[in-house]
Amino acid sequence: AQSVTQPDARVTVSEGASLQLRCKYSYSATPYLFWYVQYPRQGLQLLLKYYSGDPVVQGVNGFEAEFSKSNSSFHLRKASVHWSDSAVYFCAVSRGYAQGLTFGLGTRVSVFP
Amino acid sequence: EAAVTQSPRNKVAVTGGKVTLSCNQTNNHNNMYWYRQDTGHGLRLIHYSYGAGSTEKGDIPDGYKASRPSQENFSLILELATPSQTSVYFCASGDAGGGNSDYTFGSGTRLLVI
C-alpha cells in the first residue's frame, strides 16, 4: 500500500529566507505526486504535481519540487518566503487510477517578519 | 468557475442521529471523494465514486455510507452519528485519473457530534 511521510510537523522561518519541506513516499508503481497548501479554515489548493519528465517541477507562487526516484522523495522548495506563505502543506501520492490520494500528515509553516 | 461546494459549512449533531453532508461539483468530473481531516491523521479517504450510481470504500468507511445520485452530487451519510465522527470533512472531485489528474477540493464541513 502507498504511504507518505512528512517528517517535520512544524517549520518556522523568517520572511525572505528559503524553505524546504520534506516528503518521502512509498509506492510500488510509478508515483504521481502532489503538493497542496491549506490556509486556515479553507480547503486544499494545488501547488504543483509530478507524474513524468523533468524531476524539477514548477508550481504556483514561486514553489518548486524535486522528485527523486532513488530516494523516494518529493521535496518542496521556495527561495524566499513571504508572511502569506504561512499555512499547512501536504504532500500526497496517487492511490491508483481514479482512486484519489493518500496524504502525509502535513507540515505547518510559520513565517515570521 | 468550476468548483466544489459543500453544505452545510458547520453542523452540530446529537449522538445517534442521522447526518447527511452534501457535495456538489461543477467541474464535470467523473470521480468524487470524501475525506476527513483530524489532527495527527492528516486527510483520510472515506468513500469515493467513479460516477453516478457508484460508490467505493476508502480506507476508513466504517460508520459511513455514500450516495452518488448524479454526476454533480455526492453525499456522505452518517446513519448513527458518534462523537468519534467529530471532524472536518472534505469533498473533492477528480477527472480521468492517472498522473494528469486534477483534484479540486471543497472548503470543508465542520461536524461536531455531541
pLDDT recorded at residue B1: 64
Structural domain of residue A9, as residue ranges? 3-112
pLDDT digits (tens, 9 = 90+) for A24-36: 999 877 789 999 9
Rounded-to-integer distance, Cα A75 and Cα A6, Å: 9
Question: CA dist B28 to A51, B6, B51, B70, Å?
Answer: 23, 16, 10, 11
Q: B103, B79, B82, B78: which is closest to B91 by C-alpha?
A: B103
Q: pLDDT confidence of A12, banded at 50, 70, 90?
A: very high
Return the bridge partners of A45, or none. A37
Nearest CA in chain B to A42: B107
Q: Which residues of chain B fall short of a pLDDT of 50?
A: none
CB of B67 within 8 Å of a chain A CB? The answer is: no
pLDDT recorded at residue B96: 63
CA B74 to chain CA centroid, Å, is 7
CB of A102 closer than 8 Å to CB of A6: no
CB of B90 within 8 Å of a chain A CB? The answer is: yes
Residue % of chain A over a pLDDT of 70: 100
Domains and CATH numbers, chain B: 4-113 (2.60.40.10)
Beta-carbon pairs below 8 A across chains A and B: 70
Number of independent structural domains in chain A = 1
Domain with residue A96: its CATH number is: 2.60.40.10
B83: which 3 cell numbers?
A: 462523537
